[in-house]
Amino acid sequence: MVKEIKPRKTRLESQQETRQNLLEAALMLFTELGYETTSIRGICDKAGYSQGAFYSNFNNKSEVLLELLEQYKSFEANSRKQLIDDAGDNFEKALNDMILWFERNDQNISHTILLLEMQLHALRHPEFVKIYNNLMDEQKSFYTKLVQHLFTMRNIEPPFDCSIVAEGLMALGANEAIARRLNPKRKKQNPFSAYLKLIFRIEEK
């Protein structure tokens, strides 16, 4: 039997793999130890690379934190947009799928911890505040457009500024991931469903 020879990775592919491995190692350490406690050396040891490999990909630790959140926000935006696209003109399907997405997503606490670490870093380092606010503004803009689209599908005029609903969804998502981990009884509740149905004037059956 002829052994299959895998093609060698290009320099760019190897660099991208190294970069992603460093990001994944950082995510694990930020979640386990906290951002401030995690060192660049620790990230490199966890990923199995030298510090030279780190500085070939990132300027500093805060750049790693920011890229991790940008990756997650991009995933979040794309997956929720896909929910709406899959629903077509079916408002109930779009709403129910979004509720289920929230329910599944708040079980992944690592990105919620990452967001909390970013908030703490912004509070402690004023030069990081603008970067943090820009990222949150992008997320808020996405959610605002999503809510506006749902109102259009529902065929009703928004009774208030859709950005307020967007901020509510962002806060609720972050809170539930932590609250459910700390209090298992909350798993029996469905605040996402209650909030969205109240906003879109849907009576509970």
The per-residue pLDDT for range 124-143, each reduced to its tens digit, is 999 899 988 998 899 899 88
Pick the CATH number of 60-200 from 1.10.3210, 1.10.357, 2.40.50, 3.40.50: 1.10.357
The per-residue pLDDT for range 61-98, each reduced to its tens digit, is 999 999 998 888 888 888 888 888 888 889 999 988 88
Query: Residue 137: its pLDDT value, please?
Result: 92
Give DSSP secondary structure letters for 138-181: HHHHHHHHHHHHHHHHHT---SS-HHHHHHHHHHHHHHHHHHHH
pTM here is 0.80
Query: Residue 188: its pLDDT value, please?
Result: 65
Architecture of domain 9-58: Orthogonal Bundle (1.10)
